[in-house]
Amino acid sequence: MTSDPIVTLERWRIAQRNEKEFWDGMKGRDAILKELAHRNFQREFGIRKELLDSVLSQRVLEIGPGPMPLTCEFENCEKIVVDSLADYFCTNFETDRGIEWMKGLAETLPFINDSFEFVVASNVLDHVRVPQEVLSEIHRVLKVNGSVYLVLNCYGPLTRIYKMMLEKIGQSDPYHPHVFTIKRAKKLLENTGLELLSNAKEIENRKEAINQLLPNSEDKKPKGIKFRISRIIKSILSLMEGNDPGKRSSAVCMIFVLKKFA
């Protein structure tokens, strides 16, 4: 099966450091983050409202949401969040008291088999070390007939090649060790024991939503010649790949709804 390579521990730690630095800049903005979490919930689960009915009185796991889990909007269910930076988020942000927070890695979830009826993993697989192991762990802790709600940023194939080249020379997106196309994402989901129930559906890019609420949230680091060149190349790729959601250079958030039948 085709999958992105395993990233080194050092590369993953770089991503974690950058992730923490990003959230450092969000401290004291809890009200805005709660509004953003609400918008994410309305936008993403508004597409599949019937999924919310299925989580009533059930045990729900959310993996790697940062300080604004989608499950904070879930009602009448037991909610658990696992995040590698859970201690940091609980210390520095107003985390939902109705959610049990646990520090852990998505590749080694701290639960016994068949623990949850519903798992949420939004904007997670491109942050981890080994995406395939994460999916295997989700399958392990999910009960039979349980569902998975997966959201993933995807790019066009030319943009993926370009981003992987930047990765080789240390000029890539520091937050995301992996780069997926829609085709590669679907390939990754094969042979996981999880069946894809719905076609991927495009939703609003989360970064755009963040910038609407936080217009000053863009990276403040100096923009040198390499940055300007990369923007020019990105513009060229946008023209080459067109407006097809599977072929354009800007990220497209894709929703995958999966189920475990055995």
- Give residue-wise pLDDT tens across range 76-125: 889 999 999 999 999 999 988 889 999 999 999 999 999 999 999 999 99
Q: What are the φ and ψ backbone dihedral angles of 152, each rounded to 5 degrees?
A: -145, 135
Q: Which helix (H) or strand (E) holds 62?
A: strand 59-63
CB 180, CB 211: distance < 8 Å: no
Choose the weakest-confidence range: 38-47, 75-84, 134-143: 38-47
Q: What is the pLDDT of residue 245?
A: 47
Residue 28 is assigned to a structural domain of this protein: yes
Query: What percent of the chain has a predicted confidence (pLDDT) above 70?
Result: 74
CB 163, CB 155: distance < 8 Å: yes
Which residues have CB under 8 Å from 199's CB, separation 6+? none
Residue 117 is assigned to a structural domain of this protein: yes
Residue 165 is assigned to a structural domain of this protein: no
Choose the weakest-confidence range: 62-71, 174-183, 218-227: 218-227
Residue 55 is assigned to a structural domain of this protein: yes
Q: Is the pLDDT of residue 33 over 60?
A: yes
Q: Is the pLDDT of residue 16 over 80?
A: yes
Residue 234 is assigned to a structural domain of this protein: no
Burial class (CB within 10 angstroms; exposed 0-12, middle 13-18, buried 19+) of 133: middle
Q: What is the pLDDT of residue 217?
A: 43
Choose the weakest-confidence range: 85-94, 141-150, 228-237: 228-237
Q: Is the pLDDT of residue 40 over 80?
A: no
- Rounded to 10°, the helix 182-189/131-141 angle is 40
Residue 138 is assigned to a structural domain of this protein: yes
Closest CA to 23 of 72, 74, 76, 83: 83
Residue 194 is assigned to a structural domain of this protein: yes
Of the ranges 27-36, 101-110, 163-172, 234-243, the best mean pLDDT one: 101-110
Q: What is the pLDDT of residue 102?
A: 97
Residue 227 is assigned to a structural domain of this protein: no
Count structural domains, the chain: 1
Q: How confident is the model at residue 230 (pLDDT cuts 50, 70, 90)?
A: low
Parent domain of 108: 9-155+175-220+251-260
> Looking at residue 42, which CATH number applies to its domain?
3.40.50.150
Q: Which helix (H) or strand (E) holds 102?
A: strand 99-103
Mean per-residue pLDDT, 37-61: 74
